[in-house]
Amino acid sequence: MSGVLVLDRIRKTYQSVTAVEDLSLTLASGEFVTLLGPSGCGKSTTLRMIGGFEDPDSGRVLIQGRDVTDLPPHKRDVNVVFQDYALFPHLTVRRNISFGLELKGLGRAAIAARVDEMLALVKLEALAERMPAALSGGQKQRVALARALAPNPPILLLDEPLSALDAKLRKEMQIELRRLQRETGKTFILVTHDQEEALTMSDTVVVMNDGRIEQIGKPWDLYNRPGSEFVARFVGEMNFFPVRAGAATAEAIELDWFGTPLAARLPARLPPPGQEVLLGVRPEHIALGLDPPAAGLPNAVAGRVTERIFRGADVNYLVEANGRAFSVAAPQRTVPDGVSDVWLTWAPENALILH
């Protein structure tokens, strides 16, 4: 098995709770990887087993081909950035960053040069002699990153490192983290429950659910080709409604929704005709029109606007059609005030059958 990190059926149980269940994963070197999932799904436990802070009940952890399952954290080629920074309060920024290098027994000149390099990387040259108490949250986060990167580990583990920051700073640090990963070329493994953060930052997203991997993919694929209802619900918003499967053509599958013919993208596994399946369409993939669409166009449904929620960049229209409420995202004034009768249309390409 190759890859900078291999998890081979790792498992961790606490009393009656199975936190991580026979999880296997191989990561390529130099990627920004995110473990994404709801609270309690086993993200932190997985990260702690990679870092050596938790022993798996069974399974193996390999870093750069070496089995490190039985090694303590300081003997593994990984470093961790914690949410609360965990800086040494009595040491200056410079000493905080040099600490790990001193433990490694590097010479004074080599340490000084490496610390300067790290200070420049996180743009904190001017604050080298400050104490942590005199730093802002974002600056503390940068020191923690510099300290973790200083010993040059191939893998950096980050457990919800931005969740303590306010929204604006959080966005800035997301860009900063991405830059640091690109410039250092290291493998970053970030844990987050924030799907937007995962989509904007990652090369690869690992969606976890209940101690298991639900789907692994690039952000585009997860959003546009969710492999399950769980992923479709957790990553972005989606309208779901049950339909009955019909015949499949080369490009699409025909569906019946209480007598209304619909068409969806061909699923990986074709359901037998007549079977009830769940159809999903994202709010921004539904177009709102005032006039009936041309005859023969698939996925055209008449509806009535019941609510308009102004969101600044767009309007979230709630539309009732066939006794069901649809959420539609459309530009402002798509439906003029006073008008409520509309037509919903969407491309078969954007209609997904989920299991």
- Residue 16 sits in the site that holds ligand ADP (CB under 6 A): no
Nearer to ligand ADP, 86 or 175 (CB): 86
Using rule CB under 6 A, residue 45 touches ligand ADP: yes
By CB under 6 A, is residue 217 in contact with ligand ADP? no
Contact 10, 22 (CB under 8 A): yes
Which structure tokens are listed for 96? 């905080």
Quick check: 40 binds ligand ADP (CB under 6 A)? yes
For 224, the enclosing helix (H) or strand (E) is: helix 219-224
51 in contact with ligand ADP (CB under 6 A): no
Token code pair at residue 71? 């090694």
258 binds ligand ADP (CB under 6 A): no
Chain residues 282-301 in contact with ligand ADP, contact rule CB under 6 A: none
Smallest distance from the beta carbon of 40 to ligand ADP, in angstroms?
4
Interaction of residue 273 with ligand ADP, rule CB under 6 A: no
41 lies in the binding site for ligand ADP (CB under 6 A): yes
Q: Interface with ligand ADP includes 44 (CB under 6 A)?
A: yes
- For 167, residues 6+ apart whose C-beta sits below 8 A from its C-beta are none
Q: Note the residues at the interface with Mg ion (CB under 5 A).
A: 44
Interior/surface letters 293-322, b for 16+ CB within 10 angstroms, e for the rest: eeeeebbbbebebeebeeeeebbebbbebe
Q: Which does 14 bind (CB under 5 to 8 A by kind): Mg ion, ligand ADP, none?
A: ligand ADP
Question: 192-216 burial by CB neighbour count: b if 16+ within 10 A, else e?
Answer: bbbbebbbebbbbbbbbbebebbbb
For residue 207, what is the enclosing H or E element? Answer: strand 204-209
- Quick one: what does residue 37 bind among ligand ADP, Mg ion, none, with the CB cut-off 5 to 8 Å set by partner type? ligand ADP
Number of residues engaging ligand ADP in binding (CB under 6 A): 11
CA 318 to chain centre: 27
Taking the least distance from each CB to ligand ADP, the nearer of 40 and 242 is 40
Calpha distance 123→119 (Å, rounded): 6
The CA distances from residue 221 to 33, 215, 226, 271, in Å, are 14, 10, 7, 22
| By CB under 6 A, residue 17 contacts ligand ADP | yes
Which of Mg ion, ligand ADP, none sits in contact with 45, Cβ below 5 to 8 A by type?
ligand ADP
The minimum distance between CB 13 and ligand ADP, in angstroms, equals 9
Pairwise CA distance, residues 78 & 98, whole Å: 17
Q: What is the C-alpha to C-alpha distance for residues 22 and 123, in angstroms, rounded to an integer?
A: 41
- Least separation in angstroms between residue 158's CB and ligand ADP is 12
Query: Shortest distance, CB of residue 36 to Mg ion, whole angstroms?
Result: 11
Chain positions contacting ligand ADP, by CB under 6 A: 14, 17, 19, 37, 39-45
